[in-house]
Amino acid sequence: GARSGRGGSAGEPPSGPDTSGGRGPAVPAADAGSRGGAGTGPPLLADDGGTDPPSRIGGNAPEPLPGDDERGPDVGARPTNQRETDPSPADEPEAPPVDERELDAPPAPSPGAGSRDGGWGSSRRSDVVDVSSAVGDGDGRGGRGGRGGMEARRASVLMHPPFPRTRAGPELVRVADRPWGAVLVAGGGPPSPAGTPRANPYPWQRSGIPVEVVPAFASLYGLAPVEREPVGRTVALARNVPLPCGNHVWQASFMTARAADRARYDRATAHLDAPLAIVDLDAFDANADDLVRRAGGKPIRVASKSVRCRTLLERVLAREGFQGIMSFTLAESLWLARSGFEDILLAYPSADREAFAELAGDPKLAAAVTVMVDDPSQLQLIDDSRRGGGEVVRVCLELDTSLKLLGGRVRVGARRSPLHSPAQVAGMARAVAERPGFKLVGIMAYEGHIAGVGDSVAGRPFRSRAVRLMQATAKKELAARRAEVVRAVRAVAPDLEFVNGGGTGSVQHTAAEDAVTEIGAGSGLYVPRLFDNYTSFSGRPAALFAMPVVRRPGVGVVTVLGGGYPASGAPGRDRLPVPYLPEGLKYDPQEGPGEVQTPLLGAPADDLLLGDKVWFRHAKAGELCERFDVLHLVEGDEVTATVPTYRGEGHTFL
């Protein structure tokens, strides 16, 4: 049976000179794709800026030409447009009888017979409408296959394809509870009785449905993109689809933006076997621009733990609005400094004596790296590790940002630092200033309960409202306290270089504080699943990993290799990767993601073949890179570079 978007055998319209006698341009031959799909075809006609809502696609009939009555031109049996609501069988006109000898094909199969998920026989109308009068061989006779064979080189048919609701790759959308499609040829649609193409023959051209340009998908799915600028989230495409007789036609369909991404990623990685990980550079760069916009002119220090790839760190630091790195271990900090990175802030205290000895003994490293402290005993540990190294160590103090209520009996936020009040931070600042071999250069305050907690969780309105209330209270309290802390510390260290704050989820709020001089962020570049639930921003998923289908245990089930990559943090479903593409897959609640295999449930499973890729999003950003040696960088619909992660360079710092 036929498999939409995958294609069985990719049939071709016969080639040869155009002998239509002006009746219409030739349909380009379909090149066989690597997955059995057809090659590129004629471009679809885009909508012309109309304003009718998408729900009226089936009810917007084209303007009749002279000589046409309300039922259409006097040729063959032009298809009847659908009403806005399904007509009753009594209201629906009878489809013209089709002589199977003219089809040059066996009768259409009954429902379920044409394919494992529905078959051609489920249509309430004839599958192919008569166009024998509109297609000829140049001598006035109807072309072979004019009523179904579709082997003429010039043919245009409006169809109601009986595909099921969900298909692999491009997915048909339902209009008036029916799939909608059309066959198009280059040059503008079905010929009129006089042989000239209609200027605007298809209902969706006046429907107001937005379309956007998508790179050609010919070698993978046999798709041809619409030739126009992106103006929306729905993508109109054409595809080469088999008829019951075994021949093929070009059929228009609509593709969601996510489905278009899937087709693009599949095409880009068609030469690569999964498991693999990608970073969509178009999305990565767009997310970087969004962070800069939200920062309002204050520089962003990139959190390396959320990237874990030197190539991508270099890429983002080359962009205007980014300055410096926020690292997560001292060993990583020294490695990055030796690699040429400058201005590295270690965001966590360290007890790595070997690394401290190296830092104190190398002037280049000591000038590039700033370490974090929040206790005088940490200064002693550094001194004890020097081994004669006399370089001045740059120091940053961390302020505890948690919200304390009811006299401290209720605490909201991470337990990071013992320095909570302005007096406590000022006391630690004096301890640094009075100790030889150290220089206080900065303050950091990461408000994780604001930046790292989503305030718009789907299906949990009361929790979301409570989070927003908590965050509003915490923002107000922290802004006042942070300003007091900065004033107190500057009284001890007037030459303070920076005050760092914020995170991906709170960039604009933290940047609005006068006391803050820079923002720390990193997860907003990849946008993992934990950052879907925010009202303050909306990013584009840029980092994904793919697992191959290795089993098909039954209807509505596939099994992929591996996939059990939970994120750190409090255990819960939100720490699991999410099946992202194709849309509609979910975990088996009895198994979840597994160490070596993961069963996935859902209607899209029936359209996946062995070896097909299922794309996942990790719950956190950089942790994905601890699972893969390389990232394949995707631009458009091709992999333009393959770069190592920290792990791929032989470094697993934690």
Task: Summarize pLDDT for 297-325 with one digit per residue, the tens.
Answer: 999 999 999 999 999 999 999 999 999 99
Confidence of residue 244 (pLDDT cuts 50, 70, 90): low
Task: Write down the pLDDT at residue 145.
Answer: 33
Task: Write down the pLDDT at residue 433.
Answer: 95
**How many other CB atoms are found less than 10 A from the CB of residue 465?**
12
Higher pLDDT, 108 or 424: 424
Task: Write down the pLDDT at residue 61.
Answer: 35
CA nearest 330: which of 306, 355, 364?
355
Task: Summarize pLDDT for 559-579 with one digit per residue, the tens.
Answer: 999 999 999 988 988 899 999
Dist CA 491 CA 487 (whole Å): 6
Dist CA 400 CA 309 (whole Å): 29
Higher pLDDT, 410 or 590: 590
- Range ranked top by mean pLDDT from 82-96, 115-129, 340-354: 340-354
Per domain, the residue ranges of the chain are 35-84+96-268, 284-527, 540-649
Task: Write down the pLDDT at residue 15.
Answer: 40
Q: Is the torsion defined by CA of 461, 462, 466, 472 positive or negative?
A: positive
Task: Write down the pLDDT at residue 339.
Answer: 96
Partners of 224 in the β-ladder: 238
Mean pLDDT of all residues belonging to the chain: 71
Work out the average pLDDT over 209-223: 33
Confidence of residue 465 (pLDDT cuts 50, 70, 90): confident
What's this model's pTM, rounded to 2 decimal places? 0.66
Domain range 540-649, CATH class = mainly beta
Task: Summarize pLDDT for 411-446 with one digit per residue, the tens.
Answer: 888 888 999 999 999 999 999 999 999 999 999 999
Dist CA 640 CA 53 (whole Å): 39
Dist CA 108 CA 119 (whole Å): 9
Task: Write down the pLDDT at residue 246.
Answer: 53
Higher pLDDT, 623 or 152: 623
Dist CA 537 CA 505 (whole Å): 7
Confidence of residue 404 (pLDDT cuts 50, 70, 90): confident
Confidence of residue 552 (pLDDT cuts 50, 70, 90): very high
Percentage of the chain surpassing pLDDT 70? 61
Q: What is the DSSP string of 635-652?
A: ETTEEEEEEE-TGGGT--
Statement: residue 76 has pLDDT above 80: no
Statement: residue 513 has pLDDT above 90: yes
Dist CA 306 CA 317 (whole Å): 14
What is 284-527's CATH topology?
TIM Barrel (3.20.20)
Statement: residue 590 has pLDDT above 90: yes
318 and 531 Cβ atoms separated by less than 8 Å = no
